[in-house]
Amino acid sequence: MKIAFIGGGNMGTAILSALLEKGLTSPDDVSVSDISDDRRDYLKQKYDVAVTGDNRQAIDGADVVVLAIKPQHLAEVMADLDGKLKSAQLALSIIAGATIKTLTSGLDHRCVVRVMPNTPAQIGEGMSVWTATAEVTEQQKGWASSILGAVGREIYVDDEKYLDMVTAVSGSGPAYFFLFVEALVEAAVDIGLSPDMAQEMVLQTMLGSGHLIRESGKPPAELRRMVTSKGGTTAAALDELDRGGFNELVLRAIRAAYNRARELGGEGA
């Protein structure tokens, strides 16, 4: 599988690194286009891949073209590549907010996969949800699945409408957990723990709880009930969260993110 990366930013580099590490491609079969001389030098030195500042040169001979640029650069890149992709080449976009309609029209190319990844992909723990146009072959879907699976878990959906929902949950989701960790650490310090001790405790509790949910196979509600004794400390804390409308607040937050994702995609709220 020959792969071209348009953009050498953090997410694209994370995918590149994972693919090479897992042997899904080789440096000889990778080309990267980036506008930054420093970034190209870095990628060449670290991964020994072909680098260029010319997008058209980068895609020459590639089976898969990964669009890993920032949204503000999309119009320029699409203008540069308009009509230049061969019909058999797969364009795989991880560009936030760029719809399939935008991509197929701007590239004049029908073979497109659109992905909603999230930032933990940078350490191989990502959650990527993706969809594809009707022109994408089963082989190409296999390539997309392998590429995204290299940086975490992946789910295919057959309708692009789900990606706005995914954006609100897993795409923006890491920020929700970061905020909760911040709040827990601040609360721990408030009752007398040192910042370092609070940080370590909260991070391990979050990681351990996530692994327990996955490994136990039990629903989160059941696990919550198992650790909540009537009249105990956990019950006291959960009662306060319930009185503060915690579940309703989360629902409102997710709906706000979903509506904004639809607006950015041009669908309106």
Q: How many CB atoms lie within 10 A of CB 221?
A: 8
| Tokens 């020994």 sit on residue | 48
CB 97 within 8 A of CB 44: no
pLDDT at position 265 is 75
DSSP 23: T
Give the CA distances from residue 95 to residues 29, 174, 181, in Å, rounded to whole numbers and listed in that order: 23, 17, 27
Both 128 and 12 in one domain: the answer is yes
pLDDT at position 269 is 35
| Closest to 168 measured CA to CA, from 251, 101, 266 | 251
How many whole angstroms separate alpha carbon 114 and alpha carbon 91?
8
Q: Is residue 45 part of a domain?
A: yes
Both 22 and 106 in one domain: the answer is yes
pLDDT at position 267 is 56
pLDDT at position 103 is 96
Dihedral angle of Cα 138, 140, 142, 147, to the nearest 10 degrees: -160
DSSP 132: E
How many whole angstroms separate alpha carbon 71 and alpha carbon 80?
15
CATH number of the domain at 153, please. 3.40.50.720
Both 133 and 208 in one domain: the answer is no
Both 83 and 57 in one domain: the answer is yes
Both 190 and 138 in one domain: the answer is no
| Tokens 């001979």 sit on residue | 61
CB 32 within 8 A of CB 20: no
Total count of domains within the chain: 2
Range of the domain at 225: 173-264
Both 186 and 151 in one domain: the answer is no
Q: Is residue 167 part of a domain?
A: no
CATH number of the domain at 233, please. 1.10.3730.10
Q: Is residue 42 part of a domain?
A: yes
Both 128 and 7 in one domain: the answer is yes
CB 130 within 8 A of CB 154: yes
pLDDT at position 268 is 45
Both 149 and 177 in one domain: the answer is no
How many whole angstroms separate alpha carbon 136 and alpha carbon 80?
22
H or E stretch at 126:
strand 126-132
Both 117 and 181 in one domain: the answer is no
Please say which residue of 97, 130, 158 terminates a domain.
158
Q: Is residue 121 part of a domain?
A: yes
> 0.75 cut: is pTM over it?
yes
Please say which residue of 110, 125, 158 terminates a domain.
158
pLDDT at position 97 is 86
Please say which residue of 126, 158, 190 terminates a domain.
158
For residue 170, give every residue at least 6 positions away whose Cβ sits within 8 Å of its Cβ, in sequence order, or none: 116, 118, 127, 129
Q: pLDDT tens digits for the chain (269 residues)? A: 999 999 988 999 999 999 999 999 999 999 999 999 999 999 999 999 999 999 999 999 999 999 999 999 999 999 999 999 999 999 999 998 899 999 999 999 999 999 999 999 999 999 999 999 999 999 999 999 999 999 999 999 999 999 999 999 999 999 999 999 999 999 999 999 999 999 999 999 999 999 999 999 999 999 999 999 999 999 999 999 999 999 999 999 999 999 999 888 765 43
Q: Is residue 269 part of a domain?
A: no
Q: How many CB atoms lie within 10 A of CB 182?
A: 12
